[in-house]
Structure 1
Amino acid sequence: MTANATEQTQVLVPLTTPEEVDRFLQDYPLAAIFKAGTCHKTMQGFGVVESFLQRHELPVGFIRVVEWRPASNHVAERTGLVHHSPQFILFRDGEAQFEVNNWDITPQALEPVFRQHVPLREGAAKVATDDNVEPYRRLMRAYLAGELSEWAFQDQYVTLFRDDASLRSQREFELLSRLFGDPDAYHGGLHQLGAPQERGDLRERVQALLNELG
């Protein structure tokens, strides 16, 4: 078995035979297998998986199903899961815990699974938070310093959240939506936002969220 590690010690292992599948799952109590086909769905699906591997410690065995079909068939027989390509299967102690395939391999599908079951790389959580939520921190600090009125802060915050194009994890979405709810419900006009006092003191909630974001 050969393992390919990046500078972040990302482990990718080719699984070409049934024996290599069994050895891989024995060597790594928490691991995943990715079945790779030949169409563009595979490239997109593995791109999604790789985005999580940059932040999480998870060995991944990959199977090129056309060339290494016995290994692919063995995974299906071992797990009882219908074969797909692409297909992502998370294992713990050799048992399949989660499976997703084809166009369903999305950030929305994988984020809660990685969050609950796969450890973060050292320092990954801080880097991701610093990169992704700093614009919200700046807005909150400006509001708390009196540089923005309540309504101006509310409008700018929700507009930023609604138009934010960066990949946002479920945890980040839940945190950022605490102040004013789902940004998709806002279509312009302050009346859409509702009175802040209906949710409790806004300054206290902003300070609490800012503290949690670090």
Structure 2
Amino acid sequence: MAQWKEITTNEEWEQLLAATTEQPIVVLKHSTACPVSFNALQEYEAYLGKTPNPDVKYILVKVIESRPVSNQIAEDTGVKHASPQILYIKNKETVWNTSHWAITEEHMTAVLN
């Protein structure tokens, strides 16, 4: 089963973003205080528990606990912050993003696999 890695610093984010030229990443921006976000996290984990794209690195950012990282992601990608939100980043470009109830295992499978 693929696993996500939580990042908490801008340095970690900068390294991951730079490395997207070699390995794309999927970032889930998750609010620990939001039921919609809780549902999105369950969908993310359901996707990772099946057959996720093995060429992708999976990341989690808790937007309340790691607000500076969340803000930096919005700034670097040009994607207005939402929570929950998922971004697929390849070659330092956001290829796909969605938020709220659109974050489903089925949607992720269709886009990422």
TM-score normalized with structure 2 length: 0.83
- The CA RMSD over aligned residues, in Å, is 1.6
* Identity rate, percent: 26
Aligned partners of 2:3 and 2:48 also within 8 Å: no
Q: Is there any run of 5+ residues in structure 2 with no aligned partner, and where?
A: none
Structure 1 runs of 4+ aligned residues shifted over 6 Å read none
State the number of aligned residues: 107
Distance 1:52 1:107, change over 3 A: closer
Q: Which of 11, 24, 30 in structure 1 is aligned with 2:16?
A: 24
Aligned-residue offset at 1:39: 0.9
Task: Look up the equivalent residue of 2:43 and give its one-letter code.
Answer: V
Q: Which of 1, 10, 13 in structure 1 is aligned with 2:5?
A: 13
Q: Which of 34, 44, 65 in structure 2 is aligned with 1:39?
A: 34
Task: Look up the equivalent residue of 1:84 and give its one-letter code.
Answer: A
Aligned partners of 1:24 and 1:61 also within 8 Å: no
Aligned-residue offset at 1:47: 1.3
Q: Which of 44, 48, 51 in structure 2 is aligned with 1:53?
A: 48
Q: Which has the higher contact order (CA 8 A, sep 6+)?
A: 2
More helix by share: 1
Deviations 1:52-75 (A, max 9, x none): 212112321111111111100000
Distance in 1 between the 2:37 and 2:86 partners?
A: 10
Aligned-residue offset at 1:78: 0.5
Distance in 2 between the 1:13 and 1:66 partners?
A: 17
Distance 1:23 1:11, change over 3 A: farther
TM-score normalized with structure 1 length: 0.46
Q: Which of 94, 104, 107 in structure 2 is aligned with 1:106?
A: 104
Distance in 1 between the 2:94 and 2:7 partners?
A: 16
Higher Cα Rg: structure 1 or 2? 1
More strand by share: 2
Deviations 1:77-102 (A, max 9, x none): 00111101111101112221100101
